[in-house]
Structure formats: C-alpha cells, structure tokens
Amino acid sequence: MFQRLFHTHNDYTLAVLRVILGIVFFAHGVQKALGWFGGPGFNGTINFFQQAGIPAPLAVLAIAAEFLGGLGLLVGLLARLAALGIITNMVVAILMVHSQVGFFMNWSGNQKGEGFEFHLLAIAVGLAVLVKGAGALSIDRLLAHSAPPVTADSGSVARSRESGHRAS
C-alpha cells in the first residue's frame, strides 16, 4: 500500500502540473480557510455552503481538500490523495452549481454564474497526478525511494519470520 501511494517517476512535466494545480488550489483553500486574498474565511465559507444546502461536515471536507490538498500538491506529499480530494470537489461543483450555467466561464458578465470549463481542466490535471503520482522534486518520491521494495515474496518472508520458520 505504501509503495502504491507514494511511487512516482522522476518526471518533471508531472511536477510542473502538480505544482501549478497546487498553487491554484492552495490559493483557493486559504481564501476559504483563512480569509486570505479577500476570501470569506472558515466561518464565512461554512455559512455559504450551508445556505447552498451542503452540510457543515462536507463543507469542512471541501475546505480541507483545497487548503491541505493544495499544500500537499505544492510539496508533493500524499499527492494522489490530494488530487483525489480536488477531483471530488470539482465534480461536486460541476454537478451542484456550474452545469446549470453551461460550459463557458463568464468572461463578459452575461451569465448567471461561471461555467464548468475550469473545473474540467482541474479534473484532467488532477487525474494525471492521481494516476502517475507526484513526479520529480516531491516528498512522495523521496519516501518511495526510502522504503524497502515490496515484492511478491515479501509476504511469505514476513510470515516465515513471524512463525519462526525459514522462507524457502
């Protein structure tokens, strides 16, 4: 499990995608969690979500996915988990809000809100990180290389040690 979660290749393109997604969602997360950059802060965000019919525990998860997930993506720690949280946020945002507005962002101010094109891009980048891992320059990569390799025979060796027998 450890290897599957942290394993990644020394891929710089993936690292760039991960860091950019991390910057975007960390910025959105600190707006929601801390009120930075003109954001509503934690209580304001919880109230907004509750007025939209989203229970407070789910609002907390959404804030955590953006704030902690964005931070995790920036440093490459638990990048797959962070990407999954952000993908989930984006899918929920599309289904609950943005699909009713349409595809396009509200560049000219003529729509009732924002479309879902940004969300699709975030999902696509998140999927790349979810499938391939954090890439180069990541804590996940360091952790994966510091752990002993897992082989098909590792389980039988561990069971033999526990029972006091030698593995054949």
Of the chain, the percentage scoring pLDDT greater than 70 comes to 86
Token readout for 94 is: 């599309």
Residues 51-86: tens digit of each pLDDT: 988 899 999 999 999 999 999 999 999 999 999 999
If phi > 0 it is left, if psi is from -120 to 50 it is alpha, else beta; for residue 41 that is: left
CA distances, 160 to each of 8, 63, 156, 165 (Å): 30, 46, 6, 5
Please tell me the distance from the alpha carbon of residue 62 to that of residue 117, in angstroms, as a whole number: 19
CB 91 within 8 A of CB 116: no
Please tell me the distance from the alpha carbon of residue 166 to that of residue 159, in angstroms, as a whole number: 9
Please tell me the distance from the alpha carbon of residue 26 to that of residue 85, in angstroms, as a whole number: 13
Residues 113-150: tens digit of each pLDDT: 898 999 999 999 999 999 999 999 999 999 988 866 55
pLDDT at 163 exceeding the cut of 80:
no
Residue 62's identity, in one-letter code, is A
Residues 17-49: tens digit of each pLDDT: 999 999 999 999 999 999 999 999 999 999 999
